[in-house]
Amino acid sequence: MSPGGVTTDQWLEAAKYRRTVYGIKGTSAVSDSRIEEIIKKVLDFAPSSFNTQPMRITYLTGEKHKQFWDIIINLVGPMLKSMNEAAYDTMSGVMNGHKAAYGSVRPYVRRCIPLLAACRNVLRIHELNCSY
């Protein structure tokens, strides 16, 4: 039993069903340069196996952010709809909610991910790399 009176298994069970639901705004009180600075700092000290630093971040705001979500919605939407109409109904709302946000921070591991590669070419996405 932990000091708070909750066992590890109880915490894990509660965490499994945790969800945060809220509307995302299309504005930011933090400047783009400050957001980029924070992302770069996190990448610099994020741990990795043998200090290989494979983590990368794609950070988008403004029109590129909207275009990114249009690409995702246009690619994923038809697949979801063909598999499960209810899943499509739920996820289309989620994806459009993300599109309505100020920006997107998409972490990935340094490997060619086809969707990000396509977006990178179309949108000329600025990729943030960690230092070595």
List pLDDT tens digits, range 58-111: 888 889 999 999 999 998 899 889 998 998 998 998 899 999 999 998 877 665
pLDDT of 39 reads 86
pLDDT of 124 reads 55
**Is the pLDDT score of 131 beyond 50?**
no
Measured torsion, CA atoms of residues 72, 77, 79, 80, in degrees rounded to the nearest 10: 120
Amino acid identity for residue 60 in this structure: L
pTM over 0.85: no
What does the alpha-carbon distance between residue 49 and residue 74 come to, in Å, rounded to a whole number? 36
What are the tokens at 10?
């109880």
Cα 58 to the chain's mean position, in Å?
9
Q: Where is pLDDT greater, at 56 or 6? A: 6
Locate the domains of the chain by residue range: 26-129
**CATH architecture observed for domain 26-129:** 3-Layer(aba) Sandwich (3.40)
pLDDT of 14 reads 87
